[in-house]
Amino acid sequence: MIKYSCFLIWLLAFCIPAPSAIGQVANPQPANSTLQSSALPSPISAHRGGRYLPGYPENALETFQYLLDSIPAIIECDVNRSADSVLLLLHDASLDRTTTGTGLVKNKPWETIKSLQLKDDFGKVTAFRLPLLTEVLDWSVENKAFLTLDVKRGVPFELVVDAVRRAGAEQNIAIITYNFEDALKVYTLDPSLMLSVSVRNEEELQRYMDSPIPPERLLAFTGLTARGPAFYESIKAAGITVMLGTIGNLDKRAAARGPRIYRELKALGVEVFATDRPFEAWQALK
């Protein structure tokens, strides 16, 4: 297992390129994550894999590769499924916003979906297509990338966990859950997997502390609003890593007031930032 201190030294060796320098950056090959949350490969979790670069759509393998070629990052992505139960990446229930298709993904067979093209965050149609979950998992293993999988409503955790096992990607993923019951279910399916769990107050924290899930398997998502250092310290004292979602208001505030916002949040005790601005956040924190 890669020691976290050595990894920090490795991280400091990299600089972020300008977004316009597409295709000009060599792949730094970030070190693989282990099952312990304290050894996560980056303080940056890119929401939907990085979604705001022109020409690079959300939940696209090409976007993931560009991101990883540019900065060390955790890649958050969304698992959906077709009418014939093929697992693929798509955030919305509908195909309309991010693809050249229309209608609900759950009503379309993979044979129809696979030919659709992805749109970037500005509505421009790209040559990229919706990836299969199996393709993404294989890519994560090959590239030593770490993913957090947001399993969309209606997608059975059993199917996702089975796909992770088949790909041998247990060391490369955390599964996102939004309530204690789902977290316990995924833990029961495979106790070796990391879990991203909602910890927004002391009561939710205590429930996980009293559960059979080892704290080193947990990444505590504390919501989209900054909290005081005492709350973050109580999470870390339990042996759990603290994540804050800067998606939305906090990212907008950083865009308006400057990157010091990320440094101030880190000083409060935030360890991982779920952000729509992965390049700017990394530049501020590295």
The whole-number pLDDT of residue 3 equals 35
Query: Which structure tokens are listed for 46?
Result: 């890119």
18 vs 53, 72, 158, 260, 280, CA distance in Å?
Answer: 11, 15, 40, 19, 10
Paired tokens of 43: 């303080």
Instruction: Report H helices in the chain.
Output: 4-11, 61-70, 110-113, 133-143, 157-167, 180-189, 202-209, 229-237, 249-257, 260-268, 278-285
User: pLDDT tens for residues 176-234?
Assistant: 999 999 999 999 999 999 999 999 999 999 999 999 999 999 999 999 999 999 999 99
Determine the pLDDT at residue 215.
Answer: 97
pLDDT band with cut points at 50, 70 and 90 for residue 52: confident
- Grade residue 158 by pLDDT with cuts at 50, 70 and 90: very high
CATH of the domain spanning 31-88+132-285, picked from 2.40.128.120, 3.90.550.10, 1.10.3720.10, 3.20.20.190: 3.20.20.190
Asked if residues 77 and 106 have their Cβ atoms less than 8 Å apart, the reply is no
Q: What is the pLDDT of residues 63-91, one digit of tens each?
A: 999 999 999 999 999 999 999 999 999 99
pLDDT tens, position by position, 242-269: 999 999 999 999 999 999 999 999 999 9
Q: At what angle do helices 180-189 and 202-209 cross, to 10 degrees?
A: 20
Mean pLDDT of the chain: 89
Confidence band (pLDDT; 50, 70, 90) for 6?
very low
What are the sequence ranges of the domains in the chain? 31-88+132-285
| pLDDT digit string, tens, across residues 89-148 | 999 999 999 999 999 999 999 999 999 999 999 999 999 999 999 999 999 999 999 999
Higher pLDDT, 5 or 46: 46
* pLDDT of 21 strictly over 50: no
Q: How confident is the model at residue 38 (pLDDT cuts 50, 70, 90)?
A: low
- Got the DSSP string for 232-251? HHHHHHTT-EEEEE-TTHHH
pTM for the predicted model, two decimal places = 0.86
